[in-house]
Structure 1
Amino acid sequence: MFGLGRSRQPVEVDLHPPFPGEVIPVGDVPDPVFSARMVGDGFAVVPPDDATHLDVCAPVSGRLVTLFTTLHAFAVVSGEGLEVLVHIGLDTVELQGAGFRALVEQGAEVTAGQPVVRVDATAVRQSGRPLVTPVVMTQKKQVAELSVTPGPAAPGDVVCTVRMTP
């Protein structure tokens, strides 16, 4: 009666790569803050070496709750409430937005696979910064279990499934 005593079913959220490339576990990211999972658990995508620009897409449908002024990172909260941060490249905050262009405004509803930021990949590489892009769940208490499928990934592929804490 009234749902008392009924256990809630765990919710699973599928995540997609923010752009085509090679999916790696977040523990393999060449940055100690990400590889030690200090920001959260997840995965990263390494773009192809010949990419001249990247359209960095929402890995999940939801609301774009944060778009950093330097455009190097953004966060989406899924319809299920999962908070997902996409950090475009490493040490790219130092570029102060050079080579980055917002395609969506903060607060907008986005769908998985929708471009959020366009990046001049050539300019970022020339600055000496790697374009490996971590995608992490920043609210650790939300994540009961996470599985990542490493290897080549294309738009629309499911590369990570998060089982949320009930």
Structure 2
Amino acid sequence: MAVLPILRWPDDRLRMVCEPVAADDDVAAVIGDLFDTMYAAPGRGLAGPQIGVMKRVFVVDVGWKDGPRSPVAFVNPRLIETSETLVEGTEACLSIPGISTVVTRPDWIVLAWSDAEGRHHSRRFDAAEARCIQHELDHLNGIVTLQHLDPAARAKADADYAVAG
């Protein structure tokens, strides 16, 4: 496995919708690279397109900075259900370093996905895990946090990023 460069906004690949992972794709190697790169960054989640892999795969480990590692890899994830309750939260992105934005998202989600071995899973995620997973799922759909902002907040974030970047 390897620590790879993380693509930075406004790289066009971060705007692309990713293709599903096929049965014959070597997804285990990609997942290893995603974890190595995420931990080195250091981040709590990382999606395929952030390392130039345009496949529907991402990894998260929300609590590792405060406790033991609890890594989870998501292959071909699908949102099954979302909370009607929306909450604001501050998010940072490894592809937009130096910028944090307030994003409104559902408080909980139910997600279906496969793991590296092709086993199917479905689970409800709450709070920080739900936020992180939604953030990474956005990456698979060509969306970054800046695109969730109203025009005034987006202009400020873009200006801040120009200075930070």
TM-score category, normalised to shorter length: under 0.3
Specify the structure having the higher radius of gyration (Cα).
1
TM-score by length of 2: 0.24
> Which has the larger share of strand?
1
* Higher RCO (CA < 8 A, seq sep 6+): 1
> Which has the larger share of helix?
2
TM-score by length of 1: 0.23
